[in-house]
Amino acid sequence: MVDLVGIIDKGVKELKFYFLLQVYAWRIQLVYRADFIMYAITSAIYILITLVFVDVIYTVTYSIAGWSYFQLLMLIAIAGLGLNTSNYIINPGFIFDALWEGGFDNYLTKPHNPLFYVIGESTDTSAIGDIAGYFILFIYAALNIQFSALALFAFLALFVLGIGVLSLLQVVLITVSYKFANSAGWVGLLIDLAENFTRYPLTLYGLIGVIFFTIVVPLGIASFYPSEIMTGKISLTGYLIIFAIAVAMTYAFYKLSRYLLHSYTSAMG
Amino acid sequence: MPILSKYAAFMRIGFKLDFYYMYSYVFSILAYASYPLLMLIVWGAIFGGKNVIIGGFGQTALYAYFFVAYAGASLQSGVSESIAEDVESGNITSEMLLPISYAIRKFTDSTPSALANLAFIFLPIVIFTAIFANINISGITLMAFALEIFLLYIISFLIEFIIGVSSIYFVSVGGISSIVTLLTFLSGGVLPNTFFPQQLQNILQLLPFNAYYYNPAATFTGTLSGSALASALVIEITWASALFLFAMIYWSVSRRKVVAVGG
């Protein structure tokens, strides 16, 4: 018999703890106020540069792979929102250091889920500027394209799942790094590299590109496919297939990261 | 020259550290190649096989521009982070007690990475691009290009050094560093400057950031030549000298403000 009440109680307890970690992370961030403002300015400039780039492109063409100006802005906004939300939730370098230097011991001794705890502590508050910037871009693009309330709901469901896939993928890559390599710098580079590609329609890269960014490095689940919903470019069947893939990946990445974490050996951190 | 042999030892350690993190190194090579590859795909779709000139560039020249610009980006220094770490951890006090110059120490720490990237990223990409894009480059232009590559490293190191030293006042300088990175990105990283309105081009031309992407790549593709190239070089040399003087004065003033606990 599954103890449903116990599971819910534990979940609520973990969520309260996560909220406390968030408060703590923000207090630390606000100590470095000048730096925080600089990051916010950087985000604004970066999004401005993106707009300039897209503007220049659309002065010489009407569409890229069938995507109009505002549709491409929507894709860029969703890709940026997805990646930066994932960056806010999880900082790969922090978790790798905890494993590599033995700091993970601390998490194992506490009465909380260690994976959840270390993810909570790795919060990267500096990503909030990018999230806000891309959200404004999202609103701007959304005001210039037509979509239904149902499409918005379907978008949100897949987008949240996509962020989960992306965050758990990073945990898997970090644990793989811990097991087989001596640094995790490549994880951030891989995600950055893939992010550049997912700012454009995956169909530009042919079938191999579509498969790669859907299954191998599934950033497309948090960017391209949710954008297809908002721009009316995906059928119901296509949506259900992608949704099923996202659910399967979330489960598989969670199990895989738990399995790989079992190889952790204490370094007396 | 025992003092030089000390700095040589730092450079040797720098090389070893660079190659120790092999996975990160291989991925950094892929990351440098990825943006030009992406631009190749995106601009391929925009040109659509038509023989047109956009922003002063034909399709092949534009591809060559992006490959050389991003190969050049691998030579940029990232020393500000290391200085900020020294300040934040308090290690800077131990470093300052050593009988060597902290500024030169940081230069010798940062240079091996640039030299390794020059040999394993920059030169292979430039040679590959020259062959496939059929770039014919004269001896004088090649010398100007080599000088620009040298100035790229020097200017980026000096700007990074100044940002790093600012951590003595601000502790965390990631934000300032990000803004500078974006300004360099705007100076030819996203698109060649010739795609922008003339007034913006005129402003960008006077800033030191053109040394990062636009000047070397545009020289290589032949877009920047003759008197425009000469004036770009003069501006770069002037900036390098001014930044050097400022960096030295800034460091000698700021070192007296260092306050650290532990280290």
Q: What is the pLDDT of residues A80-134, one digit of tens each?
A: 999 899 888 888 778 887 877 777 787 778 788 777 788 888 888 888 888 999 9
Query: Does B212 fall in a domain?
Result: yes
With a CB cutoff of 8 Å and minimum separation 6, the contacts of A143 are: none
Looking at the domain assignment, is residue B175 inside a domain? yes
Please give the Cα distance from A165 to A249 (Å, whole number). Answer: 6
pLDDT in tens, A137-150: 999 999 999 999 99
A34, A42, A64 ranked by CB distance to B178: nearest? A42
Rg for chain A, CA atoms, rounded: 20
Q: Report residue A183 CA to chain centroid gap.
A: 21
Give the mutation candidate from A45, A55, A62, A68 for the B interface (greatest B CB count, under 10 A).
A45
B114-139 average pLDDT score: 88
| Of A43, A173, A156, the residue nearest A99 (C-alpha) | A173
Structure tokens at A247: 């659910």
- Prediction pTM value: 0.80
Q: Do A186 and B26 touch (CB under 8 A)?
A: yes
Mean predicted confidence (pLDDT) in A162-178: 87
* Tokens matching residue A84: 């930066």
Q: At what angle do helices A33-60 and A4-31 cross, to 10 degrees?
A: 100
Query: Where are the domains positioned within chain A?
Result: 18-261
- pLDDT of B5 > 80? The answer is no
Nearest to A61 among B30, B46, B185 (CB): B46
> Is residue A258 predicted with pLDDT exceeding 70?
yes
Give pLDDT tens digits for B176-229: 887 777 777 778 888 898 888 888 889 988 999 899 999 999 999 988 999 999
> Does residue B263 belong to any structural domain of this protein?
no
Nearest by CB: A65 against B20, B45, B195: B45
Q: Which of B37, B172, B179 to mutate to test the interface with A (most CBs of A within 10 A)?
A: B172
Q: Which two tokens stand for residue B77?
A: 């220094």
Residue linked to tokens 């800077």: B92
Q: What pLDDT band is residue B19 in, cutting at 50, 70 and 90?
A: low
**Does residue A29 belong to the interface with chain B, where contact is any CB pair within 8 Å?**
no
Domain of B67 in residue numbering reads as 2-256
Looking at residue B257, its amino acid is K
The pLDDT, as a whole number, for residue B48 is 80
Is the Cβ of A64 closer than 8 Å to some Cβ of chain B? Answer: yes
Q: Cβ neighbours of residue A258 under 8 Å, at least 6 residues apart?
A: A115
Q: Are A213 and A197 in contact (CB under 8 A)?
A: yes
Query: Using a CB cutoff of 8 Å and minimum separation of 24, what contacts does B225-233 make?
Result: B225/B141, B229/B141, B229/B144, B232/B148, B232/B205, B233/B144, B233/B147, B233/B148, B233/B151
Tell me whether residue B262 is in a domain: no
Most confident of A35-39, B51-55, B56-60, B178-182: B56-60
Distance from CA of B27 to the nearest CA of A (A): 6
The overall average pLDDT reported for chain B is 85
CB contact under 8 A, A197 and B170: no
Give how many domains chain B has, as a whole number.
Answer: 1
Residue-level pLDDT at A217: 85
Residue B205 CA to chain centroid, in angstroms?
16
- Tens digit of pLDDT for each residue in B77-117? 888 888 988 888 888 888 888 888 888 888 988 888 888 88
pLDDT of B263 reads 46
Instruction: Give the integer Cα–Cα distance in Å for A181 and A178.
Output: 6
Instruction: Tell me how many helices (H) and strands (E) chain B has.
Output: 12, 0
Mean pLDDT of all residues belonging to chain A: 85
Per DSSP, the residues of B166-213 read HHHHHS--HHHHHHHHHHHIIIIISS-GGGS-HHHHHHHHHSGGGGTT
